C-alpha cells in the first residue's frame, strides 16, 4: 500500500474511532490514547494527520456534514418535483435514523454542537452550516409545486429550508434515541405538510 493510501486509511479510521469515543465519553473525557488504541495506532498519528484533538473533532464533524451534502446532491435531478425531493429527504432521514450506529452518530453530533456552543469560534468550523444550507436551498429551488406548473422560488426555498432541516434532524434523533418509531411514510407525510409554508 502506498504511503498516501495508508495515511488516508488511517485518517478515516481515526475519525471513526473519534466518533465512537466522543459519543461514548464526551469530548472532554475522550482521550487521544483511547481513540488511537481503537484502531491500533499511536497518538503520534493523530498529531501528524490532524494536528490536535480539536483538529480531529473538526475533521470528523466536517465528514458528517459532507455526507449530508452528498445525500442532498443525490436528489439534484431537475425533473423531481418538490414532493419528490421531500420524499427523497424523508428516505435519507429514515436510513440515517435506523442505521446500525445511528445512536452513536446522534451522540457525536450533539457533543460536537455542545463543544461549539462552549467555544463559539468553533461553531462555523464544526457545523459547516453554510455548505449544507446552500446545498439544501439549491435543492429546493425551481421545484414543481403542483399540477399548475408553478415552481419554487429562491425565497420560497429559503423559507422552507429551516423547517425541512429541523424536521430531518428532529425525526432522526427521535428514532435513533428510541423515543419514537416512525416509518419512512410518516416522515414523508410530515415533510409534505411543510409545503403549506409556501403555498
CATH number at residue 184: 1.10.357.10
From 17, 151, 33, 137, select the one nearest 82 (Cα to Cα).
151
pLDDT digits (tens, 9 = 90+) for 81-131: 999 999 999 999 998 888 878 888 888 988 888 888 887 767 766 655 567
Query: Residue written as cell 452528498?
Result: 70
Averaged pLDDT for residues 136-147? 92
Question: What's the total number of domains in the chain?
Answer: 1
- Output helix, strand, coil percentages for the chain, rounded to the nearest 5: 75, 0, 25
Confidence band of 67 (pLDDT split at 50, 70, 90): confident
Confidence band of 198 (pLDDT split at 50, 70, 90): very high
pLDDT digits (tens, 9 = 90+) for 29-44: 999 999 999 999 999 9
Structural domain containing residue 107: 3-197
Q: What are 119's three cell numbers?
A: 467555544
Amino acid at each position: 500500500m502506498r504511503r498516501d493510501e495508508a495515511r488516508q486509511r488511517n485518517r478515516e479510521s481515526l475519525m471513526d474511532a473519534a466518533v465512537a469515543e466522543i459519543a461514548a465519553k464526551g469530548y472532554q473525557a475522550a482521550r487521544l490514547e483511547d481513540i488511537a488504541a481503537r484502531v491500533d495506532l499511536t497518538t503520534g498519528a493523530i498529531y501528524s494527520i490532524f494536528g490536535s484533538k480539536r483538529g480531529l473533532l473538526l475533521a470528523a464533524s466536517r465528514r458528517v456534514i459532507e455526507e449530508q451534502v452528498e445525500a442532498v446532491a443525490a436528489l439534484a435531478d431537475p425533473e423531481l418535483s418538490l414532493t419528490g425531493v421531500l420524499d427523497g429527504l424523508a428516505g435519507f432521514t429514515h436510513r440515517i435514523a435506523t442505521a446500525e450506529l445511528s445512536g452513536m452518530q446522534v451522540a457525536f453530533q450533539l457533543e460536537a454542537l455542545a463543544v461549539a456552543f462552549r467555544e463559539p469560534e468553533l461553531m462555523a468550523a464544526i457545523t459547516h452550516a453554510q455548505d449544507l444550507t446552500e446545498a439544501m436551498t439549491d435543492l429546493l429551488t425551481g421545484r414543481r409545486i403542483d399540477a399548475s406548473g408553478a415552481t419554487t422560488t429562491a425565497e420560497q426555498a429559503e423559507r422552507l429550508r429551516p423547517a425541512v432541516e429541523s424536521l430531518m434532524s428532529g425525526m432522526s434523533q427521535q428514532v435513533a434515541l428510541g423515543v419514537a418509531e416512525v416509518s419512512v411514510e410518516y416522515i414523508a407525510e410530515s415533510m409534505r405538510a411543510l409545503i403549506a409554508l409556501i403555498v
